[in-house]
Amino acid sequence: MLLEHPALAALPRLSLDAPAPTRYRAIRAARRDDQVSTLEATVQALVMLEGPTFDAAPLLDAFGCFVAVLAGRHRPQGMVGKG
């Protein structure tokens, strides 16, 4: 994105250090261990910007439910009820 829009390179950046393990792996393979979903990255950024008073639990819980529902729909038919 920075190559296509050089003006973005001048904007301030927020780096996410050591992101928490992603819940997204159940439905999407990441190429690297530090890759997270857009929602998880947004939550991490909000925690950094808002500080310890920001309660990320409701967003992450809802996201966990979303991932679980999608993962359940993508299970091979022989796996229903196992695990």
pLDDT at position 83 is 46
State the Cα angle at 58 between 49 and 19, rounded to 5°: 50
Reported as a single tens digit per residue, the pLDDT across 5-55 is: 889 888 888 888 776 777 777 677 777 777 888 888 899 899 989 998 999
Residue 65 pLDDT > 80? yes
pLDDT at position 10 is 87
Confidence of residue 82 (pLDDT cuts 50, 70, 90): very low
- Nearest of 71, 42, 72, 73 to residue 59 by alpha carbon: 42
Q: Which long-range contacts (CB under 8 A, 24 or more apart) does 71-75 make?
A: 71/26, 71/27, 74/27
**Which residues, other chains included, contact 56 with Cβ-Cβ below 8 Å and sequence gap of 6+?**
43, 46, 47
